[in-house]
Structure 1
Amino acid sequence: MSTAVGGHSLDLACPPDDVTAVHTFLASVWNAEPSVTPEDRMALELALVELTSNVIEHASGGGGVSCSVRLDVGDDAVEVNLTDDGVAVPIDPSAARLPDALAESGRGLALVQMVVDDLRYERIADRNRWTVRRGLTRG
């Protein structure tokens, strides 16, 4: 990624925090980063809300989970790192596929893959780290 123009961060404790905090955070980021196009904003919001929802639902292990979001707007891309202290996730994001139309869940990672250029997951010590990268479109 190119030199960071703007870096933004958010810490969540779920509960009581939920994805509403992510929407609020992103609204403040977009106010500070007017060069990010509406198309890129929508894609990144979808990606980050889906990932955060998955962390809250699956990584908490039935309890709470703490998350940190770092969003860096560069000259040509946005990179988001979402880390959490939840349980390890036995998943390969590159293998995510949309389920059939009647499925009630299982779309999150496949949707994220559709709107970003890169989605990675790794377990580092006792933390999960999700990395999302999307090249910026020029309006």
Structure 2
Amino acid sequence: MTVAMGDHVLDLACPPDDVTAVHTFLSSVWDNEPELSLEDRMALELALVELASNVIEHGADGRRVTCSLRVGVGPDEVLVSLTDDGVPVLVDPSAAHLPDALAEGGRGLALVQMVVDDLRYDRVDDRNRWVVRRGRH
């Protein structure tokens, strides 16, 4: 795991890294961005931990996956990119919806969409790229 705090970047290799590293990283980002509201922090943490968990769980396809998480805090919005070298994603994030109450999974992308203003995915060369934008409240 490599962390560059000036520009809020976390590089992960999973395993051995896991979603705990994302929580720790975001805690340090919040410490360096004290003007960011608690509401924004909680929403972004939910979104980014959910995305990172999905990448680690589904993107690895039984092998190691490397990820880079970049958080940019601007005066009006927070822009995040998460890139990984995992398998291509076969789910359209814009079509994600909450499953029924008894479903054991399938809530991740729908939850992310509920707390951010924009969620985009594309495949660039051999990497997945997720972009999250949330206007500051």
Pick the TM interval, shorter chain.
over 0.9
Query: 2:121 is matched with which residue?
Result: 121
1:77-97 Cα distance to aligned partner (Å, 9 max, x none):
001100000010011101000
Q: Per-residue deviation at 1:64? A: 1.3
> What is the rounded CA distance, in whole Å, between the counterparts of 1:90 and 1:110 in structure 2?
15
- The amino acid of 2:81's aligned partner reads N
Deviates more, 1:59-68 or 1:119-128: 59-68
Partner of 2:56: 56
TM superposition score normalised by structure 1: 0.93
Moved over 3 A (4+): none
Does the 8 Å CA contact 1:7/1:73 hold for their aligned counterparts? no
Contact 1:13 1:65 in 2 (8 A): yes
TM-score when normalising by structure 2: 0.95
Residues 100-125 of structure 1: CA distance to partner in whole angstroms, max 9, x if unpaired? Answer: 00011100000000000000000000
Task: List alignment gaps of at least 5 residues for structure 1.
Answer: 1-5
In structure 2, C-alpha distance between the alignment counterparts of 1:7 and 1:115, rounded to whole Å: 23
Aligned residues of 1:13 and 1:64 also touching (Cα < 8 A):
yes
CA–CA separation in structure 2 for the residues paired with 1:73 and 1:30: 10
Gap runs ≥5 in structure 2: 1-5
Counterparts of 1:23 and 1:58, CA distance in 2: 19
Does the residue aligned with 1:100 lie in a helix, a strand or coil? coil
Match of 1:3 in 2: none
Paired with 1:16 and 1:98, the residues of 2 have a C-alpha distance of 31
Are 1:36 and 2:36 matched, yes or no?
yes
Rounded Cα–Cα distance in structure 1 between residues aligned with 2:63 and 2:102: 29
How large is the RMSD of aligned CA atoms in angstroms?
0.8
Distance 2:64 2:96 in 1: 25
Percent identity between the two aligned chains: 74
1:51 Cα deviation after fit: 0.1
Counterpart residue number, 2:111: 111
